[in-house]
Amino acid sequence: MEVTVNGDNIDHALRILKKKMQREGIYKDIKLHRRFEKPSVKKARKRTESLRRTRKLSRRRLSIEGY
């Protein structure tokens, strides 16, 4: 991941880098790998994430298509 610094504006470049990292999911990945996650907990987390994605997709379809 790359961010160019224009002039001496390092704060702005750092802010852009943080936004890019958040969009890519790097912060979430770091948080998940801080501690060991038991296989049963990992399976449950993945299941809830999947349900959340499918519900979000169905809400979008409902608002766009109307059914």
pLDDT at 67: 67
Helix (H, G, I), strand (E, B) or coil at 38: coil
| Highest-confidence segment of 1-5, 31-35, 49-53 | 49-53
Task: Please indicate, yes or no, whether residues 26 and 41 belong to a single structural domain of this protein.
Answer: no
Task: Please indicate, yes or no, whether residues 28 and 41 belong to a single structural domain of this protein.
Answer: no
Structure tokens at 42: 């990992």
Say whether pTM exceeds 0.75. Answer: no
Helix (H, G, I), strand (E, B) or coil at 32: helix
8 A C-beta contact, residue 1 and residue 20: yes
Q: Which domain holds residue 61?
A: 36-67
**Count: domains in the chain:** 2
Task: Please indicate, yes or no, whether residues 31 and 42 belong to a single structural domain of this protein.
Answer: no
Write down the mean pLDDT value for the chain: 92
Helix (H, G, I), strand (E, B) or coil at 1: coil
Say how far residue 63 (Cα) sits from the centre of its chain: 23
